[in-house]
Amino acid sequence: MTAMRRFEAHGILITGAARGIGAATARRLAQEGAHVLVTDVDLGEAEKTASSIRELGGSAEAFICDVADRTSVEAAVAHAVHAFGSLDVLVNNAYGCTPDAPLFEDEPDEVWARDLDLTLTGAYRCSRAALAHLVASGRGAIVNIGSVNGLQDFGNHAYSAAKAGLMSLTRTLAGHAAERGVRVNLVAPGTVRTTAWEGREADLEALRELYPLGRVGEPDDIAAAVAFLASRDAAWITGTTLCVDGGLLSVNARFRRENRQDSGV
């Protein structure tokens, strides 16, 4: 079957794209015809991802981008526009997530500030730098990568607050950008098997039982949702949060199993 080519000649910038969800998204969008700028603070790993895309016949470049630095963000956006001729899609994927202190009152200010800066303010910086170019493209779209943590308590105070803030920014920016022809949406993943879980396979296996669809997510699951929201297939969708979570937020799988056992069903 021939792959869809919904992003033929589109210029796309993805942050935090060296690994995991960002890398999978870069591969998916390049497969559909996009020119992808793979940005990350780890330029070496970003180049590996870009190189793997080119080996498969796709169009990709690597570029260093620290979303905590306005100059770095603006340089990445300018490079994408120069290299590809336009910037049509921005995917805000970079984030920070620091493990919680055992007691909330022991959380350092620096941890809170860093996670919010990378996860929420970083997306703000990138969107601000990109917006005029997305307007000029005539088909601009922003897809933010959120989390179920922004909707329900799964721990990580700063990260969760930042992801909830990113959902709010998605709505307010969607309202602002709609009359300028730019759509803004958010994908909220559940647990996804990325390099962040390396060495913790037993934890992933335990989490699998909490998901109604019987497994944790894969980066390609999220990439597929991003591709939909970034494409013209979602031309009448803006300001929305799309949960890609295996049913986690809608069904309490463990409770249902236990209730069946207790009731003899």
CATH code of the domain covering residue 169: 3.40.50.720
The answer to whether the pTM exceeds 0.85 is yes
Q: How far apart are the C-alpha atoms of 13 and 7, rounded to whole Å?
A: 13
Residue 209 in any domain: the answer is: no
The parent domain of residue 89 ranges over: 11-201+218-250
- The active-site residue out of 95, 124, 159, 211 is 159
Q: What is the pLDDT of residue 3?
A: 66
Supply the DSSP string of 110-177, one letter for each residue. Answer: HHHHHHHIIIIIHHHHHHHHHHHHHHHHSS-EEEEE--GGGTS--S-HHHHHHHHHHHHHHHHHHHHH
Q: Is residue 104 part of a domain?
A: yes
Determine whether 124 is an active site residue. no
In the chain, the number of structural domains is 1
Ranges under pLDDT 50 in the chain: 1-2, 265
Domain assignment present for residue 128? The answer is yes
**CA dihedral (151, 157, 161, 166) positive or negative:** negative
User: Distances from the Cα of 82 to the Cαs of 13, 37, 133, 196, in angstroms?
Assistant: 12, 11, 11, 33
By DSSP bridging, strand 35-40 and strand 11-14 are parallel
The 10 Å Cβ neighbour count of residue 94 is 25
Domain-located, residue 258 = no
Name every residue whose Cβ is closer than 8 Å to that of residue 227 and which is 6 or more positions away in sequence: 6, 7, 25, 28, 29, 32
Q: Which of 39, 70, 249, 250 is nearest to 147 (CA)?
A: 249
User: Is 175 a member of any domain?
Assistant: yes
Domain presence at residue 150: yes
Query: Does 262 fall in a domain?
Result: no
- Give the pLDDT score at 143: 99
Residue 223 lies in a domain: yes
Say what the pLDDT of residue 138 is. Answer: 97
pLDDT of residue 254: 78
Task: Sort residue 68 into left (φ over 0), alpha (ψ -120 to 50) or beta.
Answer: alpha
- CA dist 11 and 21 (Å) reads 19
- Helices within 191-249 (DSSP H only): 201-208, 219-230
Contact 193, 217 (CB under 8 A): yes
Q: Return the pLDDT at 205.
A: 87
